[in-house]
Copies of this chain bind each other. A is one copy, B any other.
Amino acid sequence: MNLDSLYSELTLKTTAKLALIVLDGLGDVATNAQSRLTPLEAARTPNLDALVVEGCAQGRMIPVAPGITPGSGPGHLALFGYDPIEYQVGRGVIEALGLGVELKAGDVAARANFCSLDAKGIVTDRRAGRIETSICEKLCAMLAKKVKKIGDTEVIIQPGKGHRFVVVFRGKGLEGPLTDADPHREGLAIPAAKPVSANSAKEKKAAELIAEFYRQALPVIAKEKPANGFLMRGIAHQPEIPTFQERYLLKPACLAVYPMYKGLAQLVGMTKIEGPQTIAEQFERYLAEYDHYDFFFIHFKYTDMYGEDGNFEAKKQAIEEFDAALPIFLRKRPDVLAITGDHSTPCVMKGHSWHPQPVLLQSAYSGNDKLERFSETGANLGSLGVFEAKYLIRYMQANAKMFDKYGA
């Protein structure tokens, strides 16, 4: 029997409140240059410390599989309890979500960027000299005005930063993935996007659609300089994902600031609560919405951002700012609280990594690991051990007494 089916079979509806607080890229590694401390270990966190001493379970979570560094998509899908290998979300979909496009199941999305073509259609600059965002927006508006529909399929064009944009095709019977309409180097023509599976009628239809999109769209910008062409990559469809509510019998809300995380939450059917811009405001809004949802996903971005910069001090301070706001959240305790990251973003790596992120779990039944602080090194000693992130939500459900006993 499939393990997810077993969990579903055992799931009970309760009145418990659950909260998942994600400090993006929280996990880090200690180096001698950092006085053998991680930012979380170096930070002054009196409020987290108090939570730990009150009693909680700690552990470390493998985001996807040993050694695999996840992007934000797989990192969050795992936290939401979806196997990030089973539920793959294409790069185009993630980009579209990141730009705030509200995708529907079946939409095919592509990352795109403007490029320079010579008279023969050969790519001479894959990024069109890195044009400014304002020019990108103007070009996207030109395309959007000319190409609104292809047959029955709606075409949505959304500008991004610099030369980047996304194109979404919303119609019936479409599916990704397709190969890239991108030669991946200069000196070649733009190849056609082709179906990846030989026998998929839906991928074939999507490929024909994209060929037709090129036929209609290229002439629109043919006279522009330097951006007189465009490339498309990561062409994928939004997969059918069982909603969070049907999967866990929990009514979920998302309190995130950045579009990408709102998009990922929306992908699994969470309600986006708009407005708050700071973690303090997010926590205030959580208090206000406490009665209206069963599950709160609260996302804090800055740990990841400063980790990507390799800025130890700033990452440490971001954790301290988070900790300073935590008492607002704690005015209304959920029955089950998890605080963790979606992956590690070690300062020494200036990027995402595979290192298992620390997790803290507190409920009336979490037990007390008798640790003094929440930290990577402490979490190594915790009762949760090292486990796959996709199981966190199962531990949260268990702590909420949402599972019936298995077998007699």
Contact of A403 among B89, B354, B405 (CB under 8 A): B354
Most buried by B among A352, A377, A380, A394: A380
List of B residues within 8 angstroms of A68 by Cβ: 6-7, 10, 394, 398, 403, 406
Interface residues on A, range: 35 or more
Copies in the complex: 2
Prevailing SS type, chain A contact patch: loop
Contact B85 A368 (CB under 8 A): no
A365 within 8 A of B: yes
Q: Is A288 an interface residue (CB 8 A)?
A: no
> A55-B32, A85-B3, A383-B355 known; A69 and B405 CB under 8 Å?
yes
* Contact indicator B85/A403 (Cβ below 8 Å): no
Residue in B355, B386, B398 whose beta carbon sits within 8 Å of that of A386 in the complex: B386
CB atoms of A67 and B383 under 8 A apart: no
Contact indicator per residue, chain A 13-55, by CB within 8 Å of chain B (1) or not (0):
0000000000000000111100010100000000000000011
Assembly CA distance A399 to B84 (angstroms) = 22
A339-360 interface (Cβ within 8 A of B): 346, 348-349, 351-356
The verdict on A382 contacting chain B, using a C-beta distance below 8 Å, is yes
Q: Mark A71-88, 1 if CB is under 8 A from B, else 0.
A: 111100000000011001
A407 lies within 8 A of B367 (CB): no
Decide yes or no whether A198 CB sits under 8 A from chain B: no
A123 CB to closest chain B CB (Å) equals 23
Chain A 363-408 residues near chain B, CB threshold 8 A: 364-370, 376-377, 380-387, 391, 394-395, 397-398, 403, 405-408
Interface 9-residue window, one of A58-66, A238-246, A306-314, A316-324: A58-66
Nearest 3 interchain pairs by C-beta = A29-B367, A385-B386, A67-B398
Q: Hey, which bits of chain A sit against chain B, CB under 8 A? A: 1, 3, 6-7, 10, 29-32, 36, 38, 54-55, 60, 64-74, 84-85, 88-89, 91, 94-95, 234, 346, 348-349, 351-356, 364-370, 376-377, 380-387, 391, 394-395, 397-398, 403, 405-408
Q: Given known contacts A65-B394, A71-B408, A346-B365, what 9 new A-B pairs fall within 8 Å (CB)?
A: A30-B370, A32-B54, A38-B367, A66-B394, A70-B405, A71-B406, A349-B365, A356-B383, A367-B376
